[in-house]
Structure 1
Amino acid sequence: MSERDHHRKIIITAFTHLVNEVKLSSSLNLHDININIEDTFCELLNLVYTDRKFKNLNSELDGNFKAIDLGDDKNDIAIQVTSTIKREKVVETLEKYKDENAYNKVVMLYCQIKKPKRKIGFDTIIEKKFEFEEWDLSKLLNIMPFSNLNRLKEISELLSRDILSNIPDITKQEDLTAIEEWEKTDPTDIRNISDKMKSACSTVKEVRIKKYCRDIASGKVELSKHSERVISAMKYRIFDVCQDELIDFVECHEGEKITSKDLSALVDQYTNRAFEIIQDKSLDYIYPLKNKDILKKVVLALIDECYLSFDEEGIYS
């Protein structure tokens, strides 16, 4: 299987799982999934449409926008993500939106393979104030950039992270030992990542510290989409193995002047050990996040949250 076929298969598998989950959840009158996937579709559309930038309007400071979830920076397209295909839902959306008319086109994006066939349109409601379209997941598949391998890979990774990684493996359990040990862990090094880096190396550039802080912030967003118990287990396993690396680092650099490159090298070594331990523990336990990018962000968060450092003060006893 080629790399392109591999990513195409992941995208189709993710959409298939999403459709089935939406169908079963809707049968139980559970519609929270619509809210949970708004950010996913926002990122997805930004990878599909490179000439415009979509944002989640429900996360804006002004709060919920009437009847729409996503909007682009050109005020061309407004989108509502929904699992409901009933005509009543569409009418309700258009009635709420038509007086605002901030975007040129309104799209109902259904988490379904096929949109419904309508015997009657919605022109009498819209009154020519804006364009209106109904999209389904087949529509998204047809506009996927399958010819662009890099963008296809990004889309595949996004759907793997946000949809497929949340599918539980019933053959595996949570790492209960790590969860319990994390709850008992009580570090005393209260410095944040900036203080720790400056303490170890007075010449470290501020731009490097700011980059690490941005990584920590983006990592927290990714981690928030997963169970706190699973994340706590992951943090403990990484913290535990990285303590060995910290002890070795302190012993090897005793009496030496620490450079900025030394700090970066230690972060990389922390990340490598994190990758190794999570890959190993995933054989027996549930660990949905295993890529090095997110593991590096976890490492940086552990440094910022008092659990790891670059000097002897951070060694946990």
Structure 2
Amino acid sequence: MNHNLKWSSYEGISGAPLIVDDKIIGIINSELVENKESKELCALSLRYLEKTLQEKCGICFTSEIEIKEIDIVAKTAYEELTHNDKRNLPEKLKDACQTISLNRVSLYCREQAFGKVEINRYNDQQISSIKFRVFEVCQLELLNFVETSVIEELTTEQIESLIRKFSKKGKKAIEERSTQYDYPVNNKGFMRKIVLDLINDCFLSFDKKGLYDG
């Protein structure tokens, strides 16, 4: 493969994906160097590697590449949400549990901040759509919690339990829609980052102030 000579050397990129039209079609494995300058890149086709990938990694290929669409309805709905609850993550934690330690609040804030960095690596459209779907199911989870709870102040254990429930519900919701729509990732760790970001961005909480009418 000829290339545009942006780099004088591509040393160290062996094993990197070869992407054409936003699709991975091969793996770069070497380069042709003349007079200490890269002239040509070589790659192995995924079709050539298909048998090995199936046997060693459990990756299966189909004859057609499935292209999933962005969940535009959810993206648009998220962008149209109004910030009814103006409190951020620390404020919501302290309102839910007045005895919560500053160390624990700081821990959640660091977790949210680091999670935000990872979230920002992905396409805004994908993140907006995944956030709305998580918001939807977690609103119902919060409503059920508020209606069945008989205490006004939560313990730190109850706060953590609610965050985990939000994450679990969100992960399940995205799993159900991922057969049709394109979402970046969907694992427990990433979903927890989405939930904490939603709490900090005024869309979820631990009390009835975080319930949205519409």
Normalised by the size of structure 1, how large is the TM-score? 0.50
Moved over 6 A (4+): none
Unaligned runs of 5+ in 2: 15-27, 42-56, 58-64
1:114 partnered with 2:17: no
CA shift, 1:309, in A, is 0.3
Tell me, yes or no, if the aligned pair for 1:223 and 1:231 is still in contact at 8 Å.
yes
Shift of the 230–258 alpha-carbon distance from structure 1 to 2, 3 Å rule, reads same
Change (3 A) 1:115 1:297: same
Contact 2:98 2:153 in 1 (8 A): no
Shift of 1:200: 0.7
How many residue pairs align between the two structures?
177
Q: Are the counterparts in 2 of residues 187 and 316 from structure 1 also a CA contact under 8 Å?
A: no
Which residue among 171, 176, 188 is the counterpart of 2:84? 188
State the partner residue of 1:266: 162
Rounded Cα–Cα distance in structure 1 between residues aligned with 2:139 and 2:146: 11
Aligned 8 A contact 1:172 1:284 in 2: yes
Q: Tell me, yes or no, if structure 1 residue 227 matches structure 2 residue 123.
A: yes
More helix by share: 1
TM-score (norm 2): 0.73
**In 1, are the aligned partners of 2:142 and 2:206 still within 8 Å (CA)?**
yes
- Residue 267 of structure 1 and its aligned partner are, at CA, apart by 0.2
Q: Secondary structure at the match of 1:114?
A: strand
Q: CA deviation at 1:223?
A: 1.8
- Per residue, is there more strand in 1 or in 2? 2
Q: Counterparts of 1:233 and 1:207 in 2: how far apart (Å)?
A: 33
Is the contact between residue 241 and residue 277 of structure 1 (CA under 8 Å) also seen in structure 2? Answer: yes
Quote the residue 2:61 is aligned against.
none
Q: Distance in 2 between matches of 1:255 and 1:292?
A: 28
2:157 matched to 1:254? no
Which residue matches 1:179?
Answer: 75
In structure 2, C-alpha distance between the alignment counterparts of 1:180 and 1:253, rounded to whole Å: 33
Q: Percent identity?
A: 33
- Asked if 1 retains the 8 angstrom alpha-carbon contact of 2:143 and 2:211, the reply is yes
**Cα distance in 1, alignment partners of residues 180 and 104 from structure 2:** 37
Give 5+ residue unaligned stretches, structure 1.
Answer: 1-22, 32-82, 91-106, 123-135, 137-155, 157-168
Q: Quickly say closer, same or farther: Cα 1:233–1:121, change in 2 above 3 A.
A: closer
1:240 aligned residue? 136
Q: Is 1:304 equivalent to 2:207 in the alignment? A: no
**For residue 289 of structure 1, what is the aligned residue in structure 2?**
185
Quick one: which amino acid aligns to residue 296 of structure 1?
A: R
Greater RCO, 1 or 2 (C-alpha within 8 Å, sep 6+): 2
Could you tell me which amino acid in structure 2 is paired with residue 109 of structure 1? G
Which of 84, 90, 107 is 1:211 aligned to?
107
Q: Give the secondary structure class of the aligned counterpart of 2:12.
A: strand
1:215, CA displacement in angstroms? Answer: 1.9
Give me the whole-angstrom Cα distance separating, in 1, the residues matched to 2:148 and 2:131: 25
